[in-house]
Amino acid sequence: MEHNKNRQSLLLETEQGNITIEGPLPSSALSAYQFHEGLNAFRPASKQFEALQEIADFPEGRIIIARTENMIIGYVTYLYPDPLERWSEFKMDDLIELGAIEIASDYRGSKIGSNLLKLSMMDEEMENYIIISTEYYWHWDLKGTKLSVWDYRKVMEKMMFAGGLTPAPTDDPEIVSHPANCLMVRIGKNVPEQSIERFDRLRFLQRAKYRSLREGI
């Protein structure tokens, strides 16, 4: 599968000034910017910036950023699911994962996350993919936002809706381990029916394995 990446951009006017949202960007473009120290939810900011630059050069990797002049203050990543996760089990080349989205705390509340997702989907190439996001409450910044689990989920869902991702049922053990966790999905209009059927089996892999076990007895 060819992974074409068509760069898009938009200018967002906020109380903190004008913010440029653009991407997907290669590592060569990312390296020209500085990275906000507050983008450290997953690892120290410098290490996270290195990780983003690596992802940017994966064939399927996509990095969309939000920046003020030359300072990156938010980003969203897309790449193939981790090989250790169930979502990579069928090795679907048209299934990619929204791996992370992060906004520096000083810039939250300006719909930057929603616009990162909107711009992501402006590239027609995204219509060739099934896009997933696995949402686990233990990854959410409940302390920083002072929101309850359920209020945070509402905010998260509203942001994901901006990119066309909606909740989808699954029997994935980690997701069903807590009622606030969820699987968010967007199926591109060019995704073949065969891929959609495979993805449906993947969503309910535990059920399929249980059925196979029963039929084998």
pLDDT in tens, 156-194: 999 999 999 999 999 999 999 999 999 999 999 999 999
pTM confidence score: 0.93
Largest CA distance in the chain: 65
Q: Which residue has the tokens 């606030």?
A: 180
Percent of the residues in the chain that have a pLDDT greater than 90, as a whole number: 88
pLDDT tens for each residue of 46-82: 999 999 999 999 999 999 999 999 999 999 999 999 9
Looking at residue 57, what is its pLDDT? Answer: 96
- Containing 73, the helix (H) or strand (E) segment is strand 71-79
How crowded is the C-beta side of 15, counted as CA atoms within 13 Å? 6
Looking at residue 209, what is its pLDDT? Answer: 61
Higher per-residue confidence, 109 vs 88:
88
Per the CB < 8 A criterion, the answer to whether 87 and 132 are in contact is: yes
Q: How many CB atoms lie within 10 A of CB 158?
A: 12
Q: What is the DSSP letter of 128?
A: G
Mean per-residue pLDDT, 120-127: 98
CA atoms of 149 and 157, how far apart (whole Å) = 12
Looking at residue 144, what is its pLDDT? Answer: 84
Please state which of the ranges 8-12, 99-103, 206-210 shows the lowest mean pLDDT: 206-210
SS3 for 49? helix
Looking at residue 213, what is its pLDDT? Answer: 46
Per the CB < 8 A criterion, the answer to whether 66 and 72 are in contact is: yes
Looking at residue 131, what is its pLDDT? Answer: 98
